[in-house]
Structure 1
Amino acid sequence: MRFVRYTDGTTPAWGLEREQTIHALSDLPWGEPSLNDLANPSYRSHVAARIENGASTQIDPTAVSLLAPVPQPGKIVCCGLNYHDHAQEQDETVPDSPMLFGKAPTAVTNPADPIVHPDPEGPPQVDYEVELAVVVGDTISSVDEADAYDHIAGYTVLNDVSERTAQNEDGQFFRGKSYDTFAPMGPRLVTGDDIDPNALDVELRVDGETKQSSNTEQFIFDVGELVAYISDAMTLRPGDVISTGTPGGVGIFRDPVEVLEPGQTVEAEIEGIGTLRNPVVGR
């Protein structure tokens, strides 16, 4: 199922997207859903039945703005070096276990909202990274790989925008990954009964030119392995986001280096989820 958070300029709301129509979930007896609801197959079945019976308001998607599925994650846990092709472009050995780092939740921004370059005239090198993001739907700890999928609310696109100069200066990722607007997310949240998260085409374009093109079959650690590994170290709660890593083709490893500049538009696309489009502007 394809869920969207949207606004018509008033209160944000959840809807179910079907055949180019948004069905308002607030009309249903249960009201606005939680992420725990979205992870529940029984809830999704009840929603589908009600929608089939015409029990909700239908909304034209062109009349609303789509929002990030999780505007304020409890935490964003990222996995570095999780595509074989990304390891190859860096001439790095494939890791034995996931390489984790954090990204500030305040970096989240909506589809179509701008990515703000911190200093277009200065040293910052702002890079793009298309990633499949996992949105946790339950509170889980030390979950098995096979059971991990049962606790996922859905999947979305996240552009792990990165300021490479800060990463190099700091010797770690947090500041460079966490500038405001550096986590565009959306355009929708798709449940696991519609897609296989470990077999999706992934692409990123800058001004229409393809920079990254791969498939999540290139994962070194698949979604189940990541959720199990992370949950063994820390409790995961509804609304936590796991960003699963980026494929090869990032700007910093191109020759010559290609980084983002104000005036450009970035499109991060994942099969079955859609295209996350954001312009780049100067601060």
Structure 2
Amino acid sequence: MRLATIRTSEGSRLHVRGRSGYVDVASESGRPELATLNGLLAGGVAALDVAAGLTSREGREYDETDLDAAVPRPNRVMCVGVNYSAHAVEGGRDANPTWPESFMRSASSVLAPYADLARPALSSGFDYEGELAIVIGSGGRYIPREKAMDAIAGFTVLNDGSAREWQRAATQWTPGKNFDASMPIGPEVVTADEVSVDDLAITTTLNGAVMQSARTSQMIVDVARCIEFFSSFTKLLPGDVIATGTPGGVGFARTPPVWLTPGDVIEVTVEGVGTIRNKVVEDEPAPAGWPWLPSATATGIL
């Protein structure tokens, strides 16, 4: 089953892909509480069964620009960093770490899968990171890896847009990973019964040129262990998102570095899950003389 949130005259509403087009879950089921992804996930297996029952219906075709973020209002976005050996090596990190690098992103950093992606006005080192993302369904606490799939609603595609000067200005990554609307996610949530993520191709292209190419089987901490790790210290909740890390080939590690600039088109594809594509545009300018602006040279990105 493939779920998408689509902007309509009634606001953003959850749809399921039907035999053709997309079917409005709440309208067609007569269940207004299922108008959002969070509402559907809160309803558990019974609600998911309602949505699945609509997949045989004829739906409506929408333009890709009508698609909202696949998870428009995630409860939390938990991220695993440096989760592919090639990316660890290019960043001067241990290729076989014994403990996951992790950080959080805010819901305000979410962006629709085909929306314009604004390069932050306070960053000249804006970078791409194509990733597979996990969407939590039933969730839970202390979930062993052998039961991890039971906690997952599905998967989607994510670009962990990163302002590298802000990421490296101190020991914590939070500022560089949380500029507003810097993380496109979508286009759909593909339920876990429809796709196996053990060995999928993940590709990032910039203006048509391949920048990242890897397989999910190359993750250091695989999907099941991601669930096990995060559920160790927090109860995973329906609608949480886990970003599983990016492969090698990011912009900062290239010689010379490759940064996202206005006019660029950045695309991330995860085999069997989907493709997101965003045009990079100028951000609104910062106030003249704004005092907080990390030096790209001092932070080591140039």
TM-score by length of 1: 0.91
Corresponding position of 2:267: 267
Could you tell me how far apart the structure 2 residues matched to 1:151 and 1:159 are? Answer: 23
Contact 1:158-1:185 within 8 A present in 2 as well: yes
2:242 paired with 1:237: no
Residues 83 and 247 of structure 1 are in contact (CA less than 8 Å); yes or no, is this contact kept in structure 2? yes
Q: Does the 8 A contact of 2:21 with 2:59 survive in 1?
A: yes
8 A contact 2:123–2:163 mirrored in 1: no
Partner SS for 1:12: strand
Matches of 1:233 and 1:48 in 2, distance apart?
32
Partner of 2:290: none
| Partner in structure 2 of residue 209 of structure 1 | 209
1:267 and 1:102 mapped to 2: Cα distance?
Answer: 23
Partner of 2:59: 58
Given that 1:167 and 1:176 are in contact with CA atoms closer than 8 Å, whether structure 2 keeps it comes out as yes
Give, in whole Å, the separation in 2 of the partners of 1:61 and 1:153: 24
Report the TM-score when normalising by structure 2.
0.85
2:64 and 2:97 map into 1 onto residues whose CA distance is 46
Q: CA deviation at 1:24?
A: 2.1
Q: Distance in 2 between matches of 1:250 and 1:226?
A: 22
Q: What is the DSSP-based 3-state SS (H/G/I as helix, E as strand, rest coil) of the residue aligned with 2:72?
A: coil
Give the residue type in structure 2 aligned to 1:111.
P
Contact 2:124 2:259 in 1 (8 A): no
Distance 2:132 2:177 in 1: 16
Match of 2:106 in 1: 104
Unaligned ranges ≥5, structure 2: 284-302
Is contact 1:204–1:210 with CA below 8 Å preserved after alignment?
yes
Q: Does 1:36 align with 2:37?
A: no
Partner residue of 2:84?
83
Where do 5+ consecutive residues of structure 1 fail to align?
none
What is the aligned partner in structure 1 of residue 128 from structure 2? 128
Shift of 1:139: 4.2
Sequence identity, in percent?
A: 33
Letter paired with 1:88: V
- Structure 1 contact 85–218 (Cα < 8 Å) conserved: no
Q: How does 1:187-206 map to 2 (within 5 A)?
A: 187-206=187-206
Name the count of aligned residue pairs: 277
Q: Note the aligned Cα RMSD (angstroms).
A: 2.0
1:64–1:100 distance in 2 versus 1, CA, 3 Å? closer
Measured after TM superposition, the shift of residue 37 of structure 1 is: 5.9
- CA-CA distance at 1:181 after TM superposition: 1.3
Q: Kindly state the Cα deviation for residue 70 of structure 1 after the two structures are TM-superposed.
A: 1.6
